[in-house]
Structure 1
Amino acid sequence: MDQAPILTAENIGCRLDNGWIWRELDVNLAAGDRAVLTGPSGTGKSLLLRTLCGLDCPDEGRVHHRGHPVLDQDRPRFRARVMYVQQQPVLIPGTVQENLELPLRFDINAGRITGDGTAAALLSRLGKSVEFLGQRASVLSGGEGQIVGLVRALLLEPEVLLLDEPTAHLDAEATECVEKVVLEWVDAGDRAVLWTSHDQAQVQRVRRGPSIDLGSAS
């Protein structure tokens, strides 16, 4: 029997101000997929990512996790497995370490972070020393904030990452590091990523699997 895809959406649509942003949209993410999401600004790419992770509900259609519809009572557990990393992640006052530990305030994530050593190892691969853990979030650049958001999600060991322009504020060297870490993460287990980018060269580098173009989906 074939294994069910990790994440699917069937005929989903979302409206804004009485008009459809997109509709009749299908998404299918299986283990190993490195899918890409493209489209001009204003076509609802971030909204689609929020809908796929359960932060927003579609106005039509349904999202499924491993073959089962995601119901209201399932959303907390579902969002712990399908994680949306914003282009500008939410950071609280305090240190990088405190921001990495932020999800532990929620019972659903208790015990899921494996320790400082894992965080330090990930940060090292992304060009940051262990001292970075003690830096104040208030002094981080936009790119450093993106790194914190990505590491925070990876530490929680999700099944799917939904990345909203994850390298938009990074230089070429840091971008290469992020791509390498994410693609190796996908290949290391029963996982998938959906990556939003305006950079066509990056799209070609990271893609292996579905491609969704919202420029033709409205």
Structure 2
Amino acid sequence: MIAANLLEARALARRDPRTAATLLAETDFVLAASERVVITGPSGSGKSVLLRALALLDPLDGGQLLWHGRSVERRAIPRFRRSVAYVRQRPALVEGTVEDNLRYPYSLRAYRDLRFDRDGAARLARAAGRGEHFLDKRASDLSGGEAQVTALIRVLQLAPEVLLLDEPTASLDPDTVRAIEALVDDWFIADRSGRASIWVSHDPAQAARVGQRHLQMRAGRLTAPEGDAA
């Protein structure tokens, strides 16, 4: 049985390690099972800092993160990162083909109990409007949108429980934007056990499409938009 709250941040804080400036003020936040949260705000407001803190990718300067109601101990971080996946705006791809990139996670120690499913990956590619030969394309020949689709498929095939999407469609053409949104929708539909997402976006129209709960970041502080409840 899945706990009602997947992630709970209690007074999470982050400071610039060089200047000690506040990047993320003490932040309380709860992500419930099956919830779709969208976060908007100006550049430099702390949106990426928050997502990286929730993914435990950067050291925290204060606060506590709970996963299914429990603190995440150091030895449990690899398992935590299997379940909570951070997708950044500009993905890093390895040399080789799209398929090589999709196979890459399975070479990592954390995923050696899983096997690459080429048919499943091809289905995800088709859901994103990519043809049957997409997996054979060279990574060096991909457009920015194709690289982002590849990075998202690489994450989705591992069936995470939470997606942290850090402006994954910024600067992409409208067709690719909708393809990526469709991929995330399919990920929700494929498993109704309580998956959840946080999507950072600058686009108000996209925010309305991809989020059920809208929050804003300003100067490192997370708030509900005026007139809305958090």
Name the TM-score, length of structure 2 as normaliser: 0.88
Shift of 1:180: 2.3
* Contact 2:89–2:170, Cα closer than 8 Å, also in 1: yes
CA-to-partner distance for each residue in 1:127-171, whole Å, 9 max, x for gaps? 111211111111111111110111010000000000111111322
Shift of 1:201: 0.6
Identity of aligned residues (%): 42
Tell me which moved more, 93-102 or 3-12.
3-12
Distance, in Å, in 2 between the alignment partners of 1:134 and 1:165 is 26
Computed over aligned residues only, the root mean square deviation of the Cα atoms, in angstroms, reads 1.7
Quote the residue 2:170 is aligned against: 168
CA-to-partner distance for each residue in 1:160-202, whole Å, 9 max, x for gaps? 0001111113221221222122124224322001001000110
Describe the SS at the equivalent of 2:5: coil
CA-to-partner distance for each residue in 1:83-132, whole Å, 9 max, x for gaps? 00111111011110010111112122124355111110110010111211
Distance, in Å, in 2 between the alignment partners of 1:203 and 1:86 is 17
* Contact 1:34–1:186, Cα closer than 8 Å, also in 2: no
Distance, in Å, in 1 between the alignment partners of 2:216 and 2:100 is 37
Tell me which moved more, 140-149 or 2-11.
2-11
Quote the residue 1:52 is aligned against: 54
Pick closer, same or farther for the CA change 1:170–1:113 going to 2, 3 Å.
Answer: farther
Pick closer, same or farther for the CA change 1:20–1:216 going to 2, 3 Å.
Answer: closer
Shift of 1:216: 5.6
Quote the residue 1:203 is aligned against: 207
- Which residue, 67, 78, 81 being the options, matches 1:79? 81
Shift of 1:74: 1.2
Tell me which moved more, 193-202 or 179-188.
179-188
Distance, in Å, in 1 between the alignment partners of 2:132 and 2:210 is 28
Distance, in Å, in 1 between the alignment partners of 2:219 and 2:188 is 27
Describe the SS at the equivalent of 1:129: coil
Q: 1:8-157 residue pairs with structure 2 within 5 A? A: 8-16=8-16, 17-113=19-115, 115-157=117-159
- Structure 1: where are the runs of 5+ without partners? none
- Structure 2: where are the runs of 5+ without partners? 222-230
Quote the residue 2:225 is aligned against: none
Q: How many residue pairs end up in the alignment?
A: 217
* Contact 1:92–1:99, Cα closer than 8 Å, also in 2: yes
Q: Which amino acid aligns with 2:6?
A: I
Name the TM-score, length of structure 1 as normaliser: 0.93
* Contact 2:106–2:116, Cα closer than 8 Å, also in 1: no
Distance, in Å, in 2 between the alignment partners of 1:110 and 1:37 is 34
Shift of 1:64: 1.0
